[in-house]
Amino acid sequence: MTTVWLPTRDDLDAATARTAAAIADPRASRADVESAAELEEAVHVGYLWRPDADAELLAEAELAAGLYVTEVSYMPRARELQVLRSRPVVPAPEVNP
């Protein structure tokens, strides 16, 4: 049996921080930034193999953007996400005709 290591959320956050630091560093070369971004992408792809990881990241992005809060349920046997509820964080403004 083969054991597969999947990155944790802390691993993903650390990789994202390294990429941001490389971008912010005026001494970093283009190769340094690309290397950090490629590592972050690899960690991100690995992280998405975790159950509910994509739903967690989507909900976090929607919340950060002020769009919607989405509640989902992962169905392991069907290998799919079921949207339970999606609602705006802030009610949409009324449009006057």
- Whether 95 is covered by a domain: the verdict is no
What pLDDT shows up at residue 54?
82
14 and 37 in a single domain? The answer is yes
What pLDDT shows up at residue 37?
94
Rounded Cα–Cα distance for residues 21 and 67 (Å)? 28
45 and 63 in a single domain? The answer is no
| Segment 17-22 mean pLDDT | 94
| Verdict on whether the full-model pTM lies above 0.85 | no
Please say whether the beta carbons of 22 and 46 come within 8 A.
no
Confidence of residue 97 (pLDDT cuts 50, 70, 90): low
Please say whether the beta carbons of 67 and 86 come within 8 A.
no
- Whether 96 is covered by a domain: the verdict is no
What is the span of the domain harbouring residue 86?
A: 52-90
pLDDT digit string, tens, across residues 32-48: 999 999 999 999 999 98
The dihedrals phi and psi of 50, each to the nearest 5 degrees, come to -75, 140
